Structure 1
Amino acid sequence: MAAIDGLPPLREVITTHGLAAKKSLGQNFLLDLNLTAKIARQAGDLSGCDVLEVGPGPGGLTRGLLSEGARKVLAIEKDSRCLPALAEIAAHYPGRLQVIEGDALEVDPLAHLTPPIRVAANLPYNVGTELLVRWLTPKDWPPFWESLTLMFQREVAERIVATPGSKAYGRLAILCAWRAEAHIAISLPPEAFTPPPKVSSAVVHLTALPEPRYPADPKVLERVVAQAFNQRRKMLRAALKGAAPDIEDRLLASGIKPTDRAETIGLEQFCALARNIAAG
């Protein structure tokens, strides 16, 4: 497709600005502007929202978000080579695109955004999970964002939406299910990207819940879940023996058999156990 907005096709942009994807930055570019617009639409009606985008690269998703009507896009880009291409997009959409050069793990975007805020990003593979965990574990809840529309490796996407009893079920699934509604919105084969990664990808859409599904102290819940899944093949009475001296009694009081394993335990039971342990 030539364009969605009168700007040059992305292949031309990449050639003009010498933007070969860098493996060290976890870059794999989506060049199909039909596809980037489709991903932007998964974020919902953007006309009244500011959108945070991490790792815009040559700006394919950026253009999708703007053409779909985002009030403003704040794009954080670590690769200075991409800045001229993004500047051309900013000129085409006056006052609607702000670009910050920097590392998304270090930049605080909130000074530049006005609620309601949504996050949409083809996340660099090397920081995607860390950013998601940060967005799901702020000091206060609800968070600054209404929704997250994020590209991950397919394996990570499956871990986000996994249910008890599946191989993919673990800490990430519990963290997401506790505070958000999550589903896989789009699946993408390697050949959709330049260069093609070795794995398939998927776009996950998460909507923030007004409050966590079940009451629990976040730090206690995280600690209990981490201990349980760090030794996921062990029975919980063994995996959690350091969590409390009377862990078997606490497991039973939370409706969990001490002989169960972490991958069979649902979110509600983990929250009950966290409350029990926090009570001392």
Structure 2
Amino acid sequence: MGMEFQHARRSALICAASAVLTACGGGGADDGAGPAASGQVINSTIKSVANGNTYAIQVFLPESYANSTTVLPVIYATEGDAPYGGANRSRFDTFKEVMQRRGTQAVLVGIGGTAWRGTDFLMPGATKYLDFLVKELAHTIESQYRIDRKRRALSGLSHGGYFVLAALILEARAGVPPSFSHYLSTECSVGEHTSPAGVLAFEKQIDGKAVPATLFLAGASGGNHPLIGIPVFNQIASQNLPGLVSLKAEYNTSHVGADVPAFEDALTRFFS
């Protein structure tokens, strides 16, 4: 495929399969043994009833969490185990460091399973993966931590960005209220479609539906964004979608390089 349909290739770093949210991971101040000066990371796994896969899960709690009773917004980041920016670094690590640097008061949940991105993020597997996220993972996470369920974001890049858009469309099409308040789609791919026109036809199915949520479509000027993200944004702007706030942003960087600027932009806009 050409530049317009880039799919970031990443290997998976999956924690060994175990029971629902069973701890895994080694020692160190940032492994869940106790609050560190910059926050705490808890490592676990969860086996999905919806699709049978076992996902490594990482939860970052900001430093303030341990000494407060405040409920915090939560950001669910797909492909949390994807290698990112160097050896032994992941998308979750990178996002966590951005939040630490900015002092963002939110919980970050990194979802492993990059190995299944070609199934989980595209139809028909996306339906089961969405069920896993909403009915299993979010339910479990939000029963264990102080989470503001009205401020729940979903982030994805490339195929993951397509899944973020698909998650909004699937629920709106079914007449179900959105499970997330913020949908952060970066460098949206064509998904299982063969062209951007297929993505537009998929999105068009929700015209006239109430969608009380915010959709943030972001990407690279030389990547997928001008060919997919912007046309989707323009089509949404022409539709009747009560309650939907649609925003776009473009960065002069690469396909994968757009991910961190988009995440920082989302933090500024929605979680400052």
* TM-score normalised according to structure 1 size: 0.36
| Bigger CA radius of gyration | 1
TM-score, structure 2 as length reference: 0.37
